[in-house]
Amino acid sequence: MTETLNLAPPARPAGARAAEPLALYIHWPFCAAKCPYCDFNSHVRPGVDAARHGRALLAELEHEAARAMAGGAGRRRLASIFFGGGTPSLMPPEAVAALIARARALFDAEPELEITLEANPTSVEAGKLRAFRAAGVNRLSLGVQALDAASLGFLGRNHSAGEAVAALEHARATFPRLSFDLIYARPGQSEAAWREELRRALSLAADHLSLYQLTVEPGTRFATEHARGAFRLPEGEEAAALYAATAEEAARFGLLPYEVSNYAKPGAESRHNLAYWRYADYLGIGAGAHQRLTVDGPGGEGVLAARRHRAPEIWLERVERDGHARVEEEALTPVERGREAMLMGLRLSEGIDPARIARRSGLDFDAVVDRAMLDALMEEGYLRWLPDGRLQATMEGRLRLDAILPVLLR
């Protein structure tokens, strides 16, 4: 524990935490192959006992739900479930169905409960889409990544562009809501080529797209190859031009950038991801999953941050032994809460509400940000106040959040 919970002033009456609904993340840590750019907690394992892993997820869900509702907190409302990975489309649909049913029984599900599953667009997985829909999934997020063979080869993907488009069409006919991911700013990708690829993607008519600039993550195969000069990525102005082109093309199809890398038709935003960015409570079940849970302390509200064992085998063993595989849980300090809420919130086009930052951290807004620096960043055009009193990072600012946040936050 980094501190006891009673340092924060009471921001809301005890028990009021139940007023905000929860988001539930469920991690499936296995993939058919490891992509060379990916540093997610994903593992290639022969002969995964999927039914056993599914049972352990149910056990951990049960355990965490009981804790979230202990101490007189009452039943919590549930706004979203997100099956992420790894590759959750490798899960048996029966395991997905059982987890959804259990979550619905444990929490008070909102009428519009959003249930997303990440899927890889191989033909095998496309064949399971109807079963996932029948299990209760109402939003599919497909990892398309690129629409040409050479780029898919470079990214080490085990599906073709044709398979991806077929999976998208099948998904569109099966799920009420559909999103897909593309990775751009790839080596040698010109702005014209990206605009053309993106237009093709947009014409496939999803209501939501996640468009990520390729990053080289430490410890990945790409990190080794990049270090020895095997390829270079667009940087600086080149990357900024690609980013601006992305927003322009998406806007032509009515998709607006509501977060740094996420574009949606109004109303089609991912409610689950918005919960992270708005610094709402979320439970995270499965290997390596994180969670943030507001609890009432003797002197006010605190946020417990927990993470779980990352290795699937250890996670499984711990859950079967103890009912959960949390490695660490700490009460975040008010400063940590303020920083996290700012880090997440400034990624959003809607920006942050200083009153909410104060409420979630238990601190004055001025104790979270350096006012002089805030004014300087506004002068530079990286931040601006919106008419409704929210603080927003401009498009230039959102591109440079990694540089801005360390100087802005106290």
Shortest distance (Å) from residue 227 CB to ligand SAM: 15
Of 8, 18, 28, 42, the one binding ligand SF4 (CB under 6 A) is 42
404: DSSP letter:
H
Tokens coding 382? 């990286």
Tokens coding 372? 């002089």
Of 12, 34, 77, 195, the one binding ligand SF4 (CB under 6 A) is 34
Q: Is the dihedral of CA 200, 203, 205, 211 positive or negative?
A: positive
Shortest distance (Å) from residue 41 CB to ligand SAM: 9
What number of chain residues touch ligand SF4 (CB under 6 A)? 11
Tokens coding 221? 């195969």
Q: Among candidates 296, 326, 308, 280, which has minimal Cα distance to 78?
A: 280
**Coil, helix or strand at residue 310:** coil
Task: Answer yes or no whether residue 120 interacts with ligand SF4 by CB under 6 A.
Answer: yes
By a kind-dependent CB cut-off of 5 to 8 A, residue 49 interacts, out of ligand SF4, ligand SAM, none, with: none
Shortest distance (Å) from residue 315 CB to ligand SAM: 17
Of 121, 143, 286, 300, the one binding ligand SF4 (CB under 6 A) is 143
Shortest distance (Å) from residue 285 CB to ligand SF4: 17
Stretches 27-35, 49-57, 222-230, 304-312: which one binds ligand SF4 (CB under 6 A)? 27-35
By a kind-dependent CB cut-off of 5 to 8 A, residue 215 interacts, out of ligand SF4, ligand SAM, none, with: ligand SAM
Question: Given the complex with ligand SF4, which of 120 and 262 has the nearer CB atom?
Answer: 120
Residue whose tokens read 């000069």: 229
146: DSSP letter:
-
By a kind-dependent CB cut-off of 5 to 8 A, residue 214 interacts, out of ligand SF4, ligand SAM, none, with: ligand SAM
Stretches 16-24, 36-44, 201-209, 217-225: which one binds ligand SF4 (CB under 6 A)? 36-44
Shortest distance (Å) from residue 87 CB to ligand SF4: 5
Kindly tell me the number of DSSP H helices and DSSP E strands found in the chain. Answer: 17, 14
Helix axes 93-106, 50-68, angle to 10 degrees: 10
Question: Given the complex with ligand SAM, which of 183 and 404 has the nearer CB atom?
Answer: 183
> What is the residue-wise DSSP string for 47-95?
T--HHHHHHHHHHHHHHHHHHHTTTTT-PPEEEEEEEEES-GGGS-HHH
The angle subtended at Cα 203 by Cα 199 and Cα 209, nearest 5°, is 80
Shortest distance (Å) from residue 139 CB to ligand SF4: 17
Greatest distance between any 2 Cα atoms in the chain: 59
Question: Given the complex with ligand SAM, which of 120 and 189 has the nearer CB atom?
Answer: 120
Q: Among candidates 260, 275, 316, which has minimal Cα distance to 27?
A: 316
Shortest distance (Å) from residue 310 CB to ligand SF4: 14
Query: What amino acid occupies position 319?
Result: V
Residue nearest to ligand SAM (CB): 143
Please, where are the H alpha helices in 231-310? Answer: 236-252, 271-277
Cβ–Cβ < 8 Å for 256, 266: yes
Task: Answer yes or no whether residue 141 interacts with ligand SF4 by CB under 6 A.
Answer: no
d(CA 145, CA 179): 12
By a kind-dependent CB cut-off of 5 to 8 A, residue 34 interacts, out of ligand SF4, ligand SAM, none, with: ligand SF4
The angle subtended at Cα 90 by Cα 87 and Cα 94, nearest 5°, is 125
By a kind-dependent CB cut-off of 5 to 8 A, residue 41 interacts, out of ligand SAM, ligand SF4, none, with: none
Task: Answer yes or no whether residue 116 interacts with ligand SF4 by CB under 6 A.
Answer: no
Shortest distance (Å) from residue 80 CB to ligand SF4: 20
Shortest distance (Å) from residue 119 CB to ligand SAM: 7
d(CA 276, CA 281): 8
**Coil, helix or strand at residue 363:** coil
According to DSSP, the β-strands at 282-285 and 22-28 are parallel
By a kind-dependent CB cut-off of 5 to 8 A, residue 181 interacts, out of ligand SF4, ligand SAM, none, with: ligand SAM
Q: Among candidates 208, 209, 210, 126, which has minimal Cα distance to 173?
A: 126
For binding to ligand SAM (CB under 6 A), which residues are involved?
37-38, 40, 84-85, 87, 118, 120, 143, 145, 181, 183, 212, 214-215, 217
Q: x/- string (CB under 6 A) for ligand SF4, residues 77-96?
A: --------xxx---------
Contact residues toward ligand SF4 (CB under 6 A) are 31, 34-35, 38, 40, 42, 85-87, 120, 143
